[in-house]
Structure 1
Amino acid sequence: MVTSHNESGVAETSDQAVFRIRLETGDVLAGGALLAMAVTFWVLGADIDDGGGSGIGAADFPRGLALLLGIASFILLANGVRHVLGTRTGHLIEIGRPSRVIAGMLLMAAFAPAMRAFGYYPTMAFFLAAMLWIADCRRPLPLLAYVAGFLLFSRVVFETILSIPLP
């Protein structure tokens, strides 16, 4: 049984390779990769300067997200291992554009080191624009509006309302 999702509004591209894998194996691989990413974000989040004050600081947000990602990915990994060792579902998952998935994974892996090297705003602007491009948001005005809106939201919430400086 193959489970697939096809959005009729998405334009077809030359990236038509299809990658198929058993559901259980996919859960183990994805859970393990996401758990490794969560641990990486947790460790790299410790290097973010909090300003030396007590309370919530700039490092707490990425570390909080890393903790949530770690919990969710551990559950996914454990469920995949349970199915690999027990009764297999027989389902296949299909990734219709694997090169875009890999590009998104590489961007995610590069985000924390880039933020440390270049700061939050330039890194987030590039990261968000690149992820939107990968997701087929190719019109320049909406892409710029999304990026500008998110950066403005980040500034208002963290720096203005919460008084948490972003790196």
Structure 2
Amino acid sequence: MLKTCAASDALQEETSGLHVPLVWLEFAVGLILLGAAGYYMHGALMLPKPLNVHALGAGDFPIIIATGLLGALLLLLALSLVKIIKGVQTTVVSISRPLAISVGVLVLLGHAMSLETIGASVSTAVFAALIMLVSGERRPMPLLLIPLALTVGVYLVFSVALGVPFP
């Protein structure tokens, strides 16, 4: 009886969540990152050119980074396509909480978008608490203290240690 319960729990754990072959996950993530790298390259190309045409300017470094990133992503996509076409059997990746992960990504994007409007301190504290909630934390003291400590720590590193103004 005990083995049956354990076996049924293991079976339920194996069948719950999202199961994706690794090669398809690599391909999908590669496409998403390729779009993001293309957007980054577009922004890098909009940066002003150096006054000396023979010198590397500050705007050239993002172009170098974007070029390397695009090349690496195209290689990843090509390798993934070869694996898909050949029908190579890969491991299956199990994502047990796809909704929580998706909400977490949206919270992180919201944090990035709110930095300029509500300020870095408030945004970091609020969105750290939201990430903790999405991750399953429900105890009130950690939900209050950890975002506060994180915000103070980030402020100290940037403003005090590095001398960079914290918005």
Checking the alignment, whether the CA contact within 8 Å between 2:31 and 2:77 is kept in structure 1 is: no
Query: For 1:93, what is the secondary structure of its paired residue?
Result: strand
Separation in 1 of the partners of 2:151 and 2:109?
A: 20
- Closer, same or farther in 2 for the Cα pair 1:79/1:41, shift >3 Å? closer
Could you say which residue in structure 2 is the equivalent of 1:32? 31
Query: For 2:166, what is the secondary structure of its paired residue?
Result: coil
Q: Tell which has more relative contact order, 1 or 2 (C-alpha 8 A, sep 6+).
A: 1
Could you say which residue in structure 2 is the equivalent of 1:137? 137
1:84 paired residue among 81, 84, 96 = 81
Could you say which residue in structure 1 is the equivalent of 2:47? none
Shift of 1:147: 0.7
Instruction: Provide structure 1 residue ranges, at least 5 long, that are not aligned to the other structure.
Output: 1-15, 44-63
Q: Residues 51-62 of structure 1: matches in 2 within 5 Å?
A: none
Query: For 1:145, what is the secondary structure of its paired residue?
Result: helix
Could you say which residue in structure 1 is the equivalent of 2:49? none
Separation in 1 of the partners of 2:116 and 2:40?
A: 12
Separation in 1 of the partners of 2:137 and 2:71?
A: 31
- Closer, same or farther in 2 for the Cα pair 1:147/1:121, shift >3 Å? same
Separation in 1 of the partners of 2:91 and 2:146?
A: 36
Separation in 2 of the partners of 1:158 and 1:134?
A: 27
Shift of 1:148: 1.1
Shift of 1:39: 6.8
> What amino acid is aligned across from residue 18 of structure 1 in structure 2?
G
Instruction: Provide structure 2 residue ranges, at least 5 long, that are not aligned to the other structure.
Output: 1-14, 44-61
- Closer, same or farther in 2 for the Cα pair 1:151/1:41, shift >3 Å? farther
> Which protein shows a greater Rg?
2
Checking the alignment, whether the CA contact within 8 Å between 1:23 and 1:89 is kept in structure 2 is: no
Could you say which residue in structure 1 is the equivalent of 2:18? 19
Separation in 1 of the partners of 2:102 and 2:39?
A: 18
Shift of 1:23: 0.4
> What amino acid is aligned across from residue 136 of structure 2 in structure 1?
D
Query: For 2:94, what is the secondary structure of its paired residue?
Result: strand
Query: For 2:128, what is the secondary structure of its paired residue?
Result: helix
> What amino acid is aligned across from residue 84 of structure 1 in structure 2?
L
Could you say which residue in structure 2 is the equivalent of 1:5? none
Identity %: 23
Aligned CA-pair RMSD: 3.3
Could you say which residue in structure 1 is the equivalent of 2:166? 166
Separation in 2 of the partners of 1:141 and 1:41?
A: 39
Which protein has the bigger helix share?
2
